[in-house]
Amino acid sequence: LQWLRNPGPQHERRTLFGDMVCFLFITPLATISGWLCLRGAVDHLHFSSRLEAVGLIALTVALFTIYLFWTLVSFRYHCRLYNEWQRTNQRVILLTPKSANVPPTQQSLLDLQPPKRNLKETIV
């Protein structure tokens, strides 16, 4: 969630949401188009030419190949952006142990603000 709130440059967030919208529109359209092409191919096999049926089957295969290619490339791109963001935006908290050598005034300043820990933070 932190990556979505602050993914870096604004164009990365726009690209992610644009790809999500495209995915939500293209998935049902590709499914319906593929189904219609296959239904037409079955009808052409039973009632008319086999050449048109083969053409519709080839169209269906091309449609789904392009859809899967776009989905995989888009997914890979966003995973790469996320991994790069995760590599460059690490949070590190330095914990200082309580020591007898620290004067009481400095020790009380250290105790005033306990560090907030996040699951992805590295404690050193």
Domain limits at 48? 10-89
Could you tell me what percent of the chain has a pLDDT over 90? 33
Inform me whether the pLDDT recorded for 91 exceeds 90.
no
101 domain residue, yes or no: no
Q: What is the DSSP string of 60-107?
A: HHHHHHHHHHHHHHHHHHHHHHHHHHHHH---EEPPPPP-TTS-HHHH
What's the DSSP call for residue 113? S
What domain count does the chain have? 1
pLDDT for 32: 94
Is the residue at 5 inside a domain? no
* Mean pLDDT score, 91-102: 70
In DSSP terms, which residues pair with 121 in a beta bridge?
none
In a domain? residue 47: yes
pLDDT digits (tens, 9 = 90+) for 30-66: 999 999 999 999 988 888 788 888 999 999 999 999 9
Residue 104 placed within a domain: no
pTM of the predicted model, to two decimals?
0.62
85 in a structural domain: yes
- The residues pairing with 93 across neighbouring beta strands, listed in sequence order, are 123
